[in-house]
Amino acid sequence: MDIIKSSRDNLPVLQLKGRFDAHEVEPVNAWLAEHTGKGEARIIVNLEGMNFIDSTALSTLVRGLKNCRERNGDLHICSLQQPVRVIFELTRLDKAFDIFPTEEEAAKGF
Amino acid sequence: MPYENYARWKTEAITEEPKLSIVIPAYNERERIVATIGAIASHVSDLGFPWELLIADDGSKDDTVALCDDLHLVNMRVLRAPKNGGKGSAVQRGMLAARGTYVLFADADNSTPIEEVSKLLNKLEKESFDVAVGSRAAEGAEEGKKSMLRKILSGGLRWIVRHIFFIPVKDTQCGFKMYTREAAQKLHTKQTIMGFSFDLEILYLASKFGYKIAEVPVSWIDAPGSKVDTRKEVQRFLRDLMTVKMNDLKGVYR
């Protein structure tokens, strides 16, 4: 999996590409801990280019979401490709996250 | 990749014979099965032909069956087993229940990405093979995240299978294989091994019965949470090799 760290409108953005499974959660956990442990945590996770996500990876994102909301912030997901969109739907996590078509809209959605 | 294709597959029951049946054996797969179903449903629905998905439960003690039922996918069937009988028994149940012209068996962890399915289908449909075996050993295959121990053991077992048992496949154990329905039903009806090395018996029989077998390089990822205990499985594999040979000598496969 490729991990690209950037920012948009002063919001931290994590872009993940490829297959996101339990082998890959550690760097994502570290990034989430860094950006959800202080202040009003508002972050974007861009999943453009991701074609598979497993339950461990989903749990990592859910934990990140929870940490953000505990600090009155949020974790916005954007740019889901169809396989990952279907996985979010089947696991009903599409109801838990605010999901946006583009990174720009995810940033404006705060 | 129009979402509408998936949405239609999810809600409208196919009325014609499926071109493809996909069988996923499942034992206590609550952590992995839904993501795999999602990846498969999304990809295969876009290939433009009727298909069905079969989850062959193997007596799971967790809520694998309930989770699958809860998805309400009209073209997915969940085959229940009263007790755990081994991965081979689950695959056998799925293969014998499949209605498709072609039948794929794929592992529940999506370790061979479903995007590889067309490679196998082309071998059967366009090149008239009866069996297409996904292979991590064929030229062009990609093996990601496989431990050194598993690499060494795999190499040794491949040598024995090829040179002592004359099975014309380098990788007998990859959980990604496609058969014509006729071949699937004949081979799995004769199956006697229900554990991990059932693949070996099926390929031995495919070779014995003269089916045309293609070995197709696929990518493969050693998915986290694998239930395979490598050392124990190697011992069982060697024992099962002997069982297959003895069965053949005793005429069990006639």
Q: Which of A23, A82, A91 sits opposite B34 (nearest CB)?
A: A91
B236, pLDDT greater than 90:
no
Task: Report the distance separating Cα B162 and Cα B159, nearest Å.
Answer: 5
Q: Specify whether the CB–CB gap between B181 and B101 falls below 8 A.
A: yes
User: Are the beta carbons of A54 and B32 separated by less than 8 Å?
Assistant: yes
Which run of H or of E encompasses B51?
strand B51-57
pLDDT digits (tens, 9 = 90+) for A52-95: 999 999 999 999 999 999 999 999 999 999 999 999 999 999 99
Task: Report the distance separating Cα B177 and Cα B199, nearest Å.
Answer: 9
pLDDT digits (tens, 9 = 90+) for B184-216: 999 999 999 998 789 999 999 999 999 999 999
According to DSSP, the β-strands at A11-20 and A2-8 are antiparallel
Q: Specify whether the CB–CB gap between B79 and B54 falls below 8 A.
A: yes
Domain ranges in chain A? 2-108
Class at the top of the CATH hierarchy for domain B3-249? alpha beta
Among B39, B34, B37, B45, smallest CA distance to B1 is for B45
Q: Specify whether the CB–CB gap between B24 and B109 falls below 8 A.
A: no
B-chain CB neighbours of A51 within 8 Å are 39, 113, 115
Domain ranges in chain B? 3-249
Q: Give strand pairing partners of B20.
A: B51, B102
Number of H helices, E strands in chain B: 9, 9
Which CATH code of 3.40.630.10, 3.40.50.11890, 3.30.750.24, 3.20.20.140 fits the domain covering A2-108?
3.30.750.24
The predicted structure's pLDDT at residue B27: 96
Q: Residue A99 to residues A4, A29, B130, B146, B162: CA-CA distances in angstroms?
A: 19, 20, 44, 34, 51
B62, pLDDT greater than 90:
yes
B-chain CB neighbours of A89 within 8 Å are 38
Nearest CA distance, A85 vs chain B (angstrom): 9
